[in-house]
Structure 1
C-alpha cells in the first residue's frame, strides 16, 4: 500500500494463428501438434506497460510453444507481475481498490498487431486467499495508446486487466477504529474530573493527547505519502487532536482560575469570553442568555472578610 503497487503471480496466456505453420496431419503420421522453442516460431513482442520492477519484453527461453496443425500457436507465460496501483485512501480502512495490468506491444503498431482478449474476466480458478485483501471481480478492456513521433501519430493496441479488491476491515476495526473512538470519548471526561484531584492536566495530556498523536502517526505510516487522496480517518484524528490540545488549554485555565485568591477580581477579558462565547454555547432549553433580555443582568453576592460584594451574573439566568 505504501509503495502503491500490486504484486500478482499468474499466467499470461496468448493465442494467435500463423498460416505458415499449417500442415496436413495425414502426411505426417497423424501428428496434430508439435512443440517449438522461442527461436523456431514467431511471437509478438509484448511487455507490461505499467510494470514497476521490469519493463523488458515478455519472453522465456525455457518455455515451449504448442503449435497445432491449423497453425494456431498457444503460449503461456508464468510470471510475477508487479505493477503500479494508485491507492484511494479516502474511505480507509473500508476502501475498495482497482489495480490494472497493462499489456501492449513493444514495436508493432495497431495496424500490424491487434490485441484481443479471450475472456471477459481474469481466470481466478487458482487464486489463493489473501489475509488483507479480498478479490471482488475483474474485467478485461481493450484500448489504444497514441504516440506522436516526428509529426506522425502512431497507435498501439493495449489490453487492460482490471482487478477489483476490497480490504478486509475486521483487523482495522479492532485495532484502529475502536481505539480511536474510545480515546476520542475520553476527551470529554477531562471536564468531569475535579480540579482538586491534581490530575486534570496530566490525565488529559498523558491519557488522551499522546495516544491520539501515536494513532495518527501509525495510520500515516501505513498509507502512501501522497496528497491526491486524503483519508477521512486521518482528518478526523487531526481534528480530534486539535480539540484535545484545546481541552488541555482549557484545563490549564480552569486549574489556574481555581487556584486564584478569592479576593482577586476576575479579569475583564475573561468576563467577555465567558459572556460572549461560553455562555452562548451553554444555553439550553429552559434557560435564556442574559444579553437577549432588555432588563439589566442580575447580580450575585459574595461575602469576603465580612464585606459584601455584588458581581453581575453574565452567564445564565433562570427563566421564571
Structure 2
C-alpha cells in the first residue's frame, strides 16, 4: 500500500506533466500561427479562381421600415473557401487539426451589399475570428447588421406582405477570380432558442417570416466580357400585429355601418344631415390617422384607405 506522501508526489508529477503537455501544445500552435502569417499578404488573392461556398444564413431579427422602404436585418452568414497559403501538415505541429486566426490577419472576400440602404452598410466589415483547417479551408461565420432597400407593397395594409431581395457579391472581382456556390446541404434558420416564442415563430412583435430563398446569379455587363457573380436572398415577410390590425379595422367597420345607416334614413329626415356630417368628419380623421402610411406608398394606395375615402366622397 502506497504511503500518503508518495501519493501526493505522484499526483504532483502527473499534474506537472499535464501542464507541460498543454504548454507544449500551446507553443506549437503559436509557432504554427507565426509560420503561416510570416510573409502572408492579406491583400493578395489566394490562387484563383476562389470558390466561396455559402453554407448558412441564419436570421436573428428583422424590422421593416415602410417609410424609408428599407429592411433592417440581423443575421449570421456562414461561408468558406480554400487558401493554400494557410495549409500545414498536422503531424508536424502536434496533430493540430484546426486553429483560429483574427479575420484582420487573413484575406477575406470583398463581399458587399449591392442594394444597401446607406453607404456605410455597403461593405460587410464585421470582424470576427476565422477557423482554419490543415488543408487550407477557411471558415467564416460573421454576425451582420444589414440595412438594404425594399419597396414596401402596402396594397393590403395592414395585412401587407413584402418580398425583399438582398444582393451580395464581390465589389471589384469578377467570377473568374471569385465565384460563389450555395452548398447542397445549405441551411436557413429563422430564429434560435433566444428569439423563439412558444409557438415556434420569431418573436419580432410585428413581422412573420414566410420564406427565405437563396440562389446564385451570374450577370454580364456591357463594360466587361467576364461574368459577375452574386448571391440573391429573397425574404418574404408578413405583418402580424393583431392589436395594430384591429385599431385600423374597427374604425373602418364603424364607418361602413354609419354609411349604411345614412342610406337607410329617408331623404327628408333631419338625422340624415347629422349622420352625413359625422361621417365626413370621421372619414377625414381616419385618413389623417392613416396618412403616415398612405404617403409612403410609391405607386399604389392601400385598399382600406381607398374604401374609406370612397365612402367620404359619397356624402
Shared topology, TM-score over 0.5?
yes
* Alignment equivalent of 1:157, drawn from 192, 214, 229: 229
User: How far apart, in 2, do the equivalents of 1:154 and 1:229 lie?
Assistant: 39
Corresponding residue of 1:179: 251
Corresponding residue of 1:166: 238
User: How far apart, in 2, do the equivalents of 1:136 and 1:93 lie?
Assistant: 16
* Alignment equivalent of 2:299, drawn from 206, 228, 244: 228
User: How far apart, in 2, do the equivalents of 1:106 and 1:191 lie?
Assistant: 63
Equivalent residues in 2 for 1:1-20 (5 A)?
1-20=66-85
1:58 pairs with 2:130: no
- CA distances 1:275-304 after superposition (whole Å, capped 9, x unpaired): xxxxxxxxxxxxxxxxxxxxxxxxxxxxxx
> Is the 8 Å Cα contact of residues 70 and 148 (structure 2) preserved in structure 1?
yes
Alignment coverage as a number of residue pairs: 240
Q: What is the Cα deviation at residue 196 of structure 1? A: 8.6
Which stretches in structure 2 are left out of the alignment for 5+ residues? 1-65, 196-201
Corresponding residue of 2:153: 88
* Alignment equivalent of 2:311, drawn from 225, 235, 240: 240
The structure with higher relative contact order (CA 8 Å, sep 6+) is 2
User: How far apart, in 2, do the equivalents of 1:133 and 1:223 lie?
Assistant: 19
Q: What is the Cα deviation at residue 57 of structure 1? A: 2.6
> Is the 8 Å Cα contact of residues 114 and 122 (structure 2) preserved in structure 1?
no
1:204 pairs with 2:276: yes
SS in 1 for 2:179: coil
Which stretches in structure 1 are left out of the alignment for 5+ residues? 245-320
Q: What is the Cα deviation at residue 39 of structure 1? A: 4.5
Report the CA distance shift for 1:237/1:77 in structure 2 as closer, same or farther (over 3 A).
Answer: same
User: How far apart, in 1, do the equivalents of 2:99 and 2:294 lie?
Assistant: 50
SS in 1 for 2:301: coil
> Is the 8 Å Cα contact of residues 190 and 209 (structure 2) preserved in structure 1?
no
- CA distances 1:159-187 after superposition (whole Å, capped 9, x unpaired): 11211111115234421122112212212
Report the CA distance shift for 1:191/1:69 in structure 2 as closer, same or farther (over 3 A).
Answer: closer
Corresponding residue of 1:144: 218
User: How far apart, in 1, do the equivalents of 2:150 and 2:242 lie?
Assistant: 23
Report the CA distance shift for 1:22/1:100 in structure 2 as closer, same or farther (over 3 A).
Answer: same
User: How far apart, in 1, do the equivalents of 2:161 and 2:267 lie?
Assistant: 47
Structure with greater Cα Rg: 1
Corresponding residue of 1:214: 285
SS in 1 for 2:262: helix
Report the CA distance shift for 1:228/1:146 in structure 2 as closer, same or farther (over 3 A).
Answer: farther
* Alignment equivalent of 2:190, drawn from 80, 100, 124: 124
| RMSD, aligned α-carbons | 2.4
* Alignment equivalent of 2:109, drawn from 10, 29, 44: 44
User: How far apart, in 1, do the equivalents of 2:267 and 2:306 lie?
Assistant: 32
- CA distances 1:228-253 after superposition (whole Å, capped 9, x unpaired): 23322222122111112xxxxxxxxx
User: How far apart, in 2, do the equivalents of 1:227 and 1:63 lie?
Assistant: 39
User: How far apart, in 2, do the equivalents of 1:93 and 1:176 lie?
Assistant: 8
